[in-house]
Structure 1
Amino acid sequence: MAATSTSPQASPRIHWEENGEPRSARWHSEAGNPPPKRVIIADDRTNADTAYRLACEGTALLWRGDFQNARQLLQALARRADHKGRPGKKAKPAKAPSSPTEAFHLHRQAQSQRARTLAMLLIPFEDGYTIPLRRAPDVRLACNEAYGRYEEPFIISMRELLGLIGAHEWRRNGVEIPALGARIHPHYGVFSPVRGEYVQMVADAPLPADTSLAFDIGVGTGVLSAVLARRGIRHVVATDQDQRALSCARENLALLGLDHQVELREADLFPEGRAPLVVCNPPWVPARPSSSIEYAVYDPDSRMLRGFLGGLAAHLTPGGEGWLILSDLAEHLGLRPRDQLLEWIAAAGLKVLGRIDVRPVHPRASDATDPLHAARAAELTSLWRLAAI
């Protein structure tokens, strides 16, 4: 079940006027967005150009028409957002960024603006996670998985609802992990292990002589703990401070029959004690997340990375190894120089035993239209083998 802090019960209220009367309902946003201040009623008569203009102005549209028409309207809004107006209209050529860092920040800014615009199409929920619209799907199971049990009416954006439905499908179908020969089932709000190269590195890297114990810092879906257990680590202690991640890992490990080998603990970084192997796959890019799930990608001020490095020596047994899994994308974007990473390693009383590198194979690495293509094309994912000095 989701943590209570992420449920609609913890949300503020959204206010609007309908049929001449003031109305209000609970507001829910996983990204933590405040409720829109201006809300109007929209239905099947609302055309896409008008809806896009209102959304860009910050006016939200609370949908009262056919659900499938709302989906089509959202697609039309997305096309206009991508073309800065009417679909088919050529966007003005943007000034070329002066550096990879500027390209990154401009890309994030554009993503944020697009997300704000598309979030202006709103969907109502009644008691028990029912949607009071024609041709609305039954999303009760998906909502219970994401939010836990809840009865009171609330309002969310159509874009978030579609994300929730998609996450339910990911959870049901799972993600094939070749290193396990099995599927991992990500929960809503828990980052899916779609970048398989780092999982394979953990499956292939030489284990230390002592395989009695390992720590997995930031367990997520539980995929790395499962790989370590399958490789013969007799006991894995896996930590996370996110309740959704802990629930997700618990379910996956049980499905794989590895829950007797892996112990889950709620903790910020390390559990108590020392281990001959400590593994961590922190977020790879030092930037501010815009939603809860982005904490798996963006690490403000490299907090988790620095915390792992700073505490690693004190949690390794003599002769033990720390495995840091990290992409160098931040280096190619000018966000974190390699020298800085090496300084943090040295300052933590650590030395580099070796490094295993692999090139990513995800589609964006070869997509020349991606605004960050140059950085992605040069990216390497590395497993750093670290030891205390």
Structure 2
Amino acid sequence: MKKLISVFLLAFLAVSVFSQTATSVTNGSFLMPTTWDCMCIPTDGYIITINHDVTLDSDYMMSSGSITISSGASLVESGTGHGILFTGTAALNVQGTFTFSKLAMYGGTIANTGTMNGLDSLYLGVDFSNDGFVDAVEVSSSGNFFNNDTLFAVDYLSYMPFNNNHYAEIENFFINIGASNNGDLHLGDCYNNGHLWNQKLMIVSNDFTNAGRLDNDTLGAITIMQNCTNGDTVNNDARWTNNGAVTVYMNFQNLDSLLGDGTFCIGLNTANYGYMNGTYEFCDNSNPGTLNLNSGYIGSGITYCSTPCLSSIAETDLQPVLVFPNPASDYIHIVSVDMITDWALFDISGRVVMDCREYSDDFGIDISDLHAGLYYLRLETEDNSFMKSIIKE
């Protein structure tokens, strides 16, 4: 009996230890007991709630327990190069601001309705639904990523599906498994080696290669500002089905299969070494009525420039919204294809520093009173939203 009681006592003590709570009571260091109501330093297993501005000058790891950053509060790295690692059942819930160099989610759960920035490296080994603002240099994801608000990334390496439902801006995007876009997707260079499904607006400012499967829906619009290749040089099984609109401002070549019933508008040279079949409109502005080079198969259902394409594609504005000058010291100018209905300017913490209801396609914003640094300008039209990085000098 005594042995049984001892076992229960040990179990009770274990539960008590690993379910301890710590709630911030003042601004301060994570490693100072006076920051917390428990007068302790929270460790792995604690249920941690941050209601103030808390700094952390070290690496940190959790395998159980949780960290919740409340709205209006923050957890900010003090120093540089530190990281936070989550494994096991640990949970991170960002409602306020999370600013750290490195975050690795090897396990547990993550939710964001606030702001996550300052990230040099973000590794996601778990599913992530972003309902806030994320700004990272490098993102590597082996979990499903659902972007329901705003994502900025320099490099994004996808090992599991990436789903954009609002606004994402990625400089270098490598798709290894799959990606879907039902919002505004702005890319620098993009290489698709998986399955890319576009349902709305996708703009690639540099080169684009489809070496996998690409489906562009009826309402999908893809704009590629430089060169475009549809082809898998290893397996020769790339397939692009275009039922919407595709615009390529420079050269286009098809090595594998090009299908669908949409439209292609090409600015410079075109070449087909593969299989082109369907009922789509294909218009080469440098050589209307045909392709510059064909050594493959072209089906009889394809038409050439039967409806006007861009008469001078090089003279057409590549962006639906222009913001200039950038960098700027006192004034920025906005020119838009569609009427801007609202705009807001955010600092790097996600705080709104300026906003206005607008109804204009050509206007200016005075930023002379802002501190120098990086800002984000969100512009809203009736149908779309755009996010631009602004540097205030």
Q: Same fold (TM over 0.5)?
A: no
The structure in which a higher percent of residues are helix is 1
For Structure 1 versus Structure 2, the TM-score category normalised by the shorter chain is: under 0.3
Larger Rg: 2
Higher normalized contact order (CA 8 Å, seq sep 6+, divided by chain length): 1
TM-score by length of 1: 0.26
